[in-house]
Amino acid sequence: MLVVKQVVLKMKKSPKVIVSGGGTGGHIFPAVAIANSIKLKYPDAEILFVGAKGKMEMEKVPKAGYSIEGLWISGIQRKLTLANLLYNMSIFSLFF
């Protein structure tokens, strides 16, 4: 028989949380709701959003009261295109 014990840890420091969700309101607003829930439970929590530069989250997240760092990122197309191949090659080149 497997016995699982619940362990509750008391935090001595405020938690630091990174939240990512963007592109559309269907991703941004649930991410903000999660951040709000964390702040309710841990008022001293440090929450940082990351998102794509120039996208909707760069406007909506600060209006919700959170800081955000913009990254140069983009989504991957779901079909084989020259742009997709070039994108994958640029990602590969970051490592070498």
pLDDT band at 8 (very low <50, low <70, confident <90, very high): very low
pLDDT for residue 22 is more than 90: no
16-93 CATH pick, 3.40.50.2000, 3.40.190.10, 3.40.309.10, 3.30.450.80? 3.40.50.2000
- Annotate the chain with three-state secondary structure: CCCCCCCCCCCCCCCEEEEECCCCHHHHHHHHHHHHHHHHHCCCCEEEEEEECCCCHHHHHHHCCCEEEEECCCCCCCCCCHHHHHHHHHHHHCCC
- pTM greater than 0.75: no
Q: Where are the domains of the chain?
A: 16-93
Tens of pLDDT along 53-68? Answer: 888 899 999 999 999 9
